[in-house]
Amino acid sequence: MKKLTIYICCAIGISMATSCKKFLDEEPISVSTDLTFWKKESDADKAVAGGYALLRKTLNKAEGLGFYAYGDLPTDEFSNAGVFRFYEISRMDLSIPVGSAEVNDRMMQMRRYDTFYSAIDQANRCIKFIPTIGDDKFASTTSKNNLLGEAYFLRAFNYFYMTRIWGDVPLVTESVNVLDAVDVPRTKAAEVLAQCIRDANTAIELLSWDYANANNRAVRANKGAALALLAHIYAWQGDYQNCSLTADKILSQNFYQYVNRDNYLNIFKGKSSEGIFEMAQSDENEGNSFNIAHYTLKSPYLTTTTGTALFTLNVNTLTTLFDTPTDKRFKTAFALTNSTDPICIKYSNISYVNGQNVVNAISRNNIIIFRLADIALLKAEAMSALNQFDQARSALNEVRATAGLGAWAGTNANLFEGIIDERGRELFLEGHRYYDLVRLGKKTGIMKFGAEKMNKSDFDAGKYYWPLDPALMNINKKLTQTPFWSSKM
């Protein structure tokens, strides 16, 4: 079996400012050690942990901002991100030329998918080799199933994430040899998503609800995380019937509970009662200095930034979304709201350390990927799309009630948009807004990205999919450019 050039395209330097020292620091397992490595449960656990480490590296690329640069920056949440390359990303000017020698260029990193495929190869290896370890080498069958289920979850998550960004991507489902290389074309998004659904369902069958180690809550996948992933895949496909059924399996379990919105910020410290799946980087020996906090906070919440925040929130969007000043989410998650430079303080769990006579601000906030309110609102979205308006309102109003708000008062005709707006309030700056607005555009034709970022004509032409960096196509000759960008790169 030959290695595919899709994930080792060249030696690219991805600068990371993270310092996690827990399970996410486990090294990915290389092919050279496969014959001697897979002997016992701890080996399988280390291998799966390596998959999480690679996923975290991907979501933290571009100076800790990858997750937010894909999911928040090119939306109406921001009016300005006037920092090198992030400005172009925020305006969806994604075809800007980048020199081939600029391996740490933020735009190049964001247009590349190398680290996704490294994580996928790690998951493929776990899927291949964990079953070969004898059952007697595990504490229980449940332990073995959970580790294998995590591997299927990680593969499905990485492919789903890539498909939302690029649409068609090469599909590889086997662990491959490092030494040789072949070119692989892009696989149709529908086929990739079908594989994601198969993997997510396999993960659901294998995973338990409970965690073997309570400290792994939310930061390693359980059955709820796999169901949340599957619900999002169905929503992205527009299969709202299955989205609703899948969301119900989470909501009816009562495994997760809402965090009191007076203590809203506790969600972002990680491992809350509401968290379903997160990237761990909030514990004492975790955290990073370049991250969403660095770009969106300022004094007094980030003492190392004394002027304006590096990224400017869109005041019009804040005013439109948070039209009720008593909204507990607005009162607890935003600050300086009467100024011209309001900030979101969800990621203000900061500590300060000295390094080489320089004070460094270390953010100790998990990347919150799926949580309870997200799934409840996804259920509402599905019900609205299916014209089951009473059920949609019930799910919507449940989330509004946690924020101290009354029932939503709009019409059924505007309910779908109203639910997307509620997701904007609840999940502001949590990596969802871009994909929510894409679904809104597909379902209703309503554009809320900002005209300077993406208008209806551009949207219909597929601008919401990212281009591939030209460096990828220079190496893999079977790759083709994302259609909207083919004449612009």
Instruction: Give 107-135 as a DSSP string.
Output: HHHHH--HHHHHHHHHHHHHHHHGGGS-G
For the chain, the structural domain boundaries read 3-211+465-485
Q: Please write the tens of the pLDDT for every residue from 75-109.
A: 999 998 988 899 999 999 999 998 766 767 999 99
Contact 104, 15 (CB under 8 A): yes
pLDDT band at 192 (very low <50, low <70, confident <90, very high): very high
The residues, any chain, with a CB within 8 Å of residue 226's CB and separated by 6 or more, are 149, 152, 153, 156, 200, 203, 204, 207
Environment class of 216 (CB within 10 Å of its CB; exposed 0-12, middle 13-18, buried 19+): middle
Name the 3-class secondary structure at 79. strand
Pairing assessment for the beta strands 181-182 and 3-4 based on DSSP bridges: parallel
Give residue-wise pLDDT tens across range 299-333.
Answer: 999 999 999 999 999 999 999 999 998 999 999 99
CA 23, CA 286: separation in Å to the nearest integer? 11
**What is the distance between the alpha carbons of residues 474 and 448, in angstroms, rounded to a whole number?**
35
Q: What is the pLDDT of residue 160?
A: 98
Checking if the pLDDT of 10 tops 50, the result is: no
pLDDT band at 15 (very low <50, low <70, confident <90, very high): very low
The confidence score (pLDDT) of residue 175 equals 82
For CA atoms 262, 267, 270, 275, give the dihedral sign: positive
Q: Is the pLDDT of residue 159 over 90?
A: yes
- CATH entry 3.50.30.30 includes domain 3-211+465-485: no
The reported pLDDT for the residue numbered 19 is 35
How far is residue 96's CA from residue 26's CA, in Å, rounded to a whole number?
A: 36
What's residue 285's pLDDT?
61
* Residue 259: both structure tokens together: 């965090």
- Give me the pLDDT at residue 31, please: 54
Q: Going along 349-402, which residue ranges are E strands?
A: 350-355, 358-363, 367-371
* Residue 35, pLDDT above cutoff 90: no
Q: What is the pLDDT of residue 361?
A: 87
Decide if 375 contacts 276 (C-beta within 8 A).
Answer: yes
- pLDDT greater than 90 at residue 415: yes
Assess whether pLDDT exceeds 80 at residue 182. no
* Residue in this structure with the two tokens 């659901």, named with its chain if needed: 204
> Exposure string (b/e) for 256-267, b if CB count within 10 Å is 16 or more?
bebbebeebbbb
pLDDT band at 448 (very low <50, low <70, confident <90, very high): very high
Whether the pLDDT of residue 20 is over 50: the answer is no
Inform me whether the pLDDT recorded for 399 exceeds 50: yes
Report pLDDT for 356.
Answer: 67
Q: What is the mean pLDDT of the chain?
A: 91
Q: How far is CA 467 from the centre of its chain?
A: 18
Q: CA-to-CA distance for 103 and 14, rounded, in angstroms? A: 8
What end-to-end distance do the CA atoms of the chain give, in Å?
33
Is residue 446 a contact partner of residue 418, using CB atoms and an 8 Å limit? no
What is the chain's length? 489
How far apart, in whole angstroms, are the C-alpha atoms of residue 468 and residue 95?
A: 9
Average confidence (pLDDT) over 435-463: 97
pLDDT at 180 over 60: no
Q: How far is residue 89 from each of residues 92, 124, 219, 247, measured CA to CA in Å?
A: 5, 31, 28, 32
